[in-house]
């Protein structure tokens, strides 16, 4: 994630699909946006983040950590 945030790499297609599913956004939105824009406008929503955190804690995501 940090490499992606710093513009050094992008996630594989499989990881992008998992991340998009975790945050309940489209892969088009995930991959088509600047990461800073996503953080500010999509992922910073406290309610959305709380739902994501709950899914991760319950093991309902293929991703072990974000």
DSSP, residue by residue, 11-55: --HHHHHHHHHHHT--HHHHHHS-HHHHIIIIIT-HHHHHHHHHH
How far is the C-alpha of 34 from the C-alpha of 25, rounded, in Å? Answer: 14
Query: What's the total number of domains in the chain?
Result: 1
* 33 found inside a domain: yes
* 62 found inside a domain: no
Return per-residue pLDDT of the chain as tens, 66 residues: 677 767 788 888 888 888 888 888 888 887 776 766 777 776 677 887 788 778 777 776 666 544
* 65 found inside a domain: no
Structural domain boundaries enclosing 44? 2-57
* 31 found inside a domain: yes
Q: What three-state secondary structure class fits 2?
A: helix
* 6 found inside a domain: yes
Q: What is the pLDDT of residue 33?
A: 65
Q: What is the pLDDT of residue 15?
A: 86
* 63 found inside a domain: no
């Amino acid at each position: 994630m940090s490499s992606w945030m710093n513009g050094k790499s992008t996630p594989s297609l499989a990881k992008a699909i998992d991340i998009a599913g975790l945050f309940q956004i489209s892969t088009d939105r995930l991959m088509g946006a600047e990461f800073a824009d996503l953080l500010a406008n999509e992922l910073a929503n406290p309610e959305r983040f709380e739902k994501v955190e709950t899914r991760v804690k319950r093991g309902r995501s293929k991703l072990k950590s974000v």
